[in-house]
Amino acid sequence: MKVTKTKIAGVLIIEPKVFGDARGFFLESFNAERYAEVGIAKTFIQDNHSHSAKGVLRGLHFQKQYPQGKLVTVTQGIVFDVAVDIRLNSPTYGQWVGITLEADKHTQFYVPPGLAHGFCVISEQADFHYKCTEYYHPKDEGSIRWNDPEINIDWPITNPTLSEKDANAVFLKDL
């Protein structure tokens, strides 16, 4: 597998080896030893799967007391995925990294604990799968405004479909 570090410590782009032929393809989507060798040594304890239509934006989500690391991939469609550093003492606090994830390319994106995460759907539909290092705690979750001018994410859409929670999220300065 090929691993690319990003400008934010711990955020990784992972391209697994894909073996394909006329029958289809095979890839190893996770191997604890191999991922630990590249710095992903946390234990994954929960898997989530979401399905969304074109223009849906989910995020920017995080958990306060129980931060989740996430290993994300798209199994159908195309999404633009974003990690925002909200670790107070980090030199990259308030900065973001984004990547287009396409099901046909099988690329994974690792978002370590302590970062906010979100994505928007570019294709007609998308299935999004992510492994988490912590359980989901509804009372512990937080959300930052998707279009926060301080973060200034270059989203590929301008008028997303949002949940009420995401539409009313706080700005980074209000955390």
Could you list the active site residues?
A: 61, 130
3-state DSSP assignment of residue 94: coil
Greatest distance between any 2 Cα atoms in the chain: 53
Residue among 51, 14, 57, 55 nearest 36 (CA): 14
Burial 90-110 (b: 16+ CB within 10 A, else e): eebeebbbbbebbbeebbbbb
